[in-house]
Structure 1
């Protein structure tokens, strides 16, 4: 069965003037328009495509990468609003509808909102709801302190930045613990600080224990983690190299590196520093 709002692995049944007719094992058909058909494609080729509905509510396939799939959360930008609702950019030719009944507050073009994407059972179209509390799991939270988790960056609140954790839970990164720019809609990794009694999750962008490091040492650790545990920089690197890579002075770098070395968090090599795993 071809699933709307998800990736499907389908075979080319035949090439027709509008594009390629793709089929699943049950011979259900969907059109892949010409502009997405790979060069030299032929009958029998298997393709992985995303299936959604076009402006006339017909299932259609694409090789474009959507920003969100069905049954997922995403923080998306509002592109337009009309008398039906708001339309959000989901990375495809057709925008994602948030009906007025599914908005927490009136949406306006240019705003970013966290939404949950679902399949409307009546129209069989993908749609979204900004009433994410209906879809958040707040009981029996299967997380432990210091666990590494997937995050989707959401809106800024008076306390910090709201995030969705593992596509299930509501999380928060406190404002005084943010040491980097967080872009709405960005996907990243973080660590569980605490699962609260109200079902929300406190999140750190640093591995627990790094909160006690000074900012310079924490910054080096973050860059190491983002660069597969190795940086081609060392205590004899030029001030210009250090500034370019870490945006800190050589004096600060050497002091911070010393902290990490004493805590046995890094190895010092001739031409690099490496994270001790």
Structure 2
């Protein structure tokens, strides 16, 4: 018998609540709630084997969404900070994605309704979801279709790295989004809709989560926009602010600051008031 896979077993006998199945050496239970129909003694049936909440190997005739060593996108159904995230894969018992696979900051964890790409592994006779390396994921999807430049796709955030986000589509496309090309804080599993900018020779796609007109903003304007987003969308600095203060906070001259504010205003990104500047 192999845990985490569909096995063909023989019905040994029937009890009040279950069928006893065997491979000739070991016996397991198939609860009648998990059976598709009544079975006869000696009948061969295909069942998926997993461990129940008591750690006992049990059988189900339901078809799992993932099997041992496969990589699939699974939905998060609940999160427990003591254990990790629980994923639905078609069985009565959900699949645990251990906190060992997740960032230290729980704000970066997936939330119920998110989807994460995981491999099913067997660890000490218990099945788990496991986040593998990003290049290992693409190895599981060698025939992924090509995405065209400027196409917008749905993907889920899988890795939070120093210079951006690494996302995956359900079909295994890897999409890198540089930190300059998004404005919010994202977490693992979160659905995003990046626009594809190009495909690298390594087959990794590069995408953006900001509008084209914002891509065209100058670096100084982006710096001001980043500051606003880190400060709840409002700041006391205006085109009347002291030049030394502007240099200290934004590392730019007052004239550069005024030009950047003007470009943000024309792009309808900010409201310019006498006493403050607000992000729209």
Q: TM-score with structure 1 length normalisation?
A: 0.51
User: CA RMSD for the aligned pairs?
Assistant: 4.1
Take 1:55 and 1:92, find their aligned partners in 2: how far apart are those partners? 12
Q: Which runs of 5+ in 1 are unaligned?
A: 147-152, 175-183, 185-193, 203-277
Q: Superposed, which structure 2 residues align to 1:245-256 within 5 Å? A: none
Shift in CA distance, 134/15, structure 1 to aligned 2, threshold 3 Å: farther
CA displacement at 1:132 relative to structure 2:
4.5
Q: Which residue of 1 aligns with 2:112?
A: 110
SS of the residue corresponding to residue 93 of structure 1 reads coil
Take 1:111 and 1:8, find their aligned partners in 2: how far apart are those partners? 31
- The question of whether the paired residues in 2 share the 8 Å contact of 1:119 and 1:127 is answered with yes
Q: Which residue of 2 aligns with 1:163?
A: 169
Q: Does 1:133 align with 2:134?
A: yes
- The question of whether the paired residues in 1 share the 8 Å contact of 2:71 and 2:137 is answered with no
Q: Does 1:83 align with 2:82?
A: yes
Q: Does 1:47 align with 2:53?
A: no
- Equivalent in 199, 202, 207 of residue 198 of structure 1: 202
Q: Which residue of 2 aligns with 1:249?
A: none
Take 1:172 and 1:108, find their aligned partners in 2: how far apart are those partners? 18
SS of the residue corresponding to residue 66 of structure 1 reads coil
Take 2:145 and 2:98, find their aligned partners in 1: how far apart are those partners? 36
- The question of whether the paired residues in 2 share the 8 Å contact of 1:84 and 1:100 is answered with yes
Take 1:172 and 1:8, find their aligned partners in 2: how far apart are those partners? 36
The alignment of Structure 1 onto Structure 2 pairs a total of residues equal to: 177
CA displacement at 1:92 relative to structure 2:
1.5
Residue range with higher mean Cα deviation, 129-138 or 83-92: 129-138
Q: Does 1:30 align with 2:28?
A: yes
Which has more radius of gyration? 2
SS of the residue corresponding to residue 20 of structure 1 reads strand
CA displacement at 1:36 relative to structure 2:
2.2
CA displacement at 1:195 relative to structure 2:
7.2
Take 1:118 and 1:126, find their aligned partners in 2: how far apart are those partners? 7
Shift in CA distance, 131/103, structure 1 to aligned 2, threshold 3 Å: farther
Q: TM-score with structure 2 length normalisation?
A: 0.50
